């Protein structure tokens, strides 16, 4: 059911420093910072040949990643995003298997303008999963 690894998201305490690290030290192609107020994050996309890395930094006091950064002050891997063909069909199949879908279970528009859902980390090897309709 799951397809490509769309991205790995890393929460960082300093977006400028993290972008410079990926661009200058690791030699990757890095986007300009993109504020996404609806998601409470500013993101920098790192384009790799086979997937993306999303560097995330909290935007606003109500940011959903603020607490993650409080607990992990030097940053850390926040979630993995897998592509699926049909996000509602994927949700229904996972729910039937006992997995918990976060929020109200309705897909929201994600950072790439496509429908996304998040799955509870306790049901997936301690890893927060995002599903994105490809």
Nearer to Co ion, 98 or 126 (CB): 126
Minimum Å gap between C-beta 89 and Co ion is 20
Residue choice 44, 81, 84, 90 for contact with Co ion (CB under 5 A): 81
Nearer to Co ion, 9 or 87 (CB): 9
Minimum Å gap between C-beta 95 and Co ion is 21
Task: List binders of Co ion among 1-60 (CB under 5 A).
Answer: 9
DSSP string, 112-128: TSSEEEEE-GGGTTT--
Minimum Å gap between C-beta 43 and Co ion is 8
Kindly state whether residue 83 participates in binding Co ion, applying the rule CB under 5 A. Answer: no
130 three-class SS: strand
Handedness of CA 7, 12, 16, 20 (dihedral sign): negative
How many whole angstroms from its chain centre is CA 134?
A: 15
The answer to whether the beta carbons of residues 101 and 94 sit under 8 Å apart is: yes
Separation CA 40–CA 58 (nearest Å): 6
Kindly state whether residue 130 participates in binding Co ion, applying the rule CB under 5 A. Answer: yes
- Interacting residue ranges for Co ion, rule: CB under 5 A: 9, 81, 130
């Amino acid at each position: 059911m799951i397809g490509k690894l769309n991205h790995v998201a890393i929460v960082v305490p300093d977006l400028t420093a993290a972008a410079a690290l990926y661009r200058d030290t690791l030699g990757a192609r890095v986007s300009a910072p993109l504020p996404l107020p609806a998601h409470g994050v500013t993101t920098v996309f790192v384009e790799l040949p086979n997937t993306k890395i999303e560097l995330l930094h909290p935007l606003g006091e109500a940011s959903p990643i603020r607490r993650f950064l409080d607990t992990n002050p030097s940053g850390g891997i926040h979630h993995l995003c897998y592509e699926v063909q049909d996000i509602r069909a994927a949700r229904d199949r996972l729910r039937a298997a006992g997995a918990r879908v976060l929020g109200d279970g309705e897909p929201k528009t994600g950072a790439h303008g496509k429908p996304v859902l998040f799955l509870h980390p306790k049901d997936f090897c301690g890893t927060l999963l995002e599903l994105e309709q490809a």
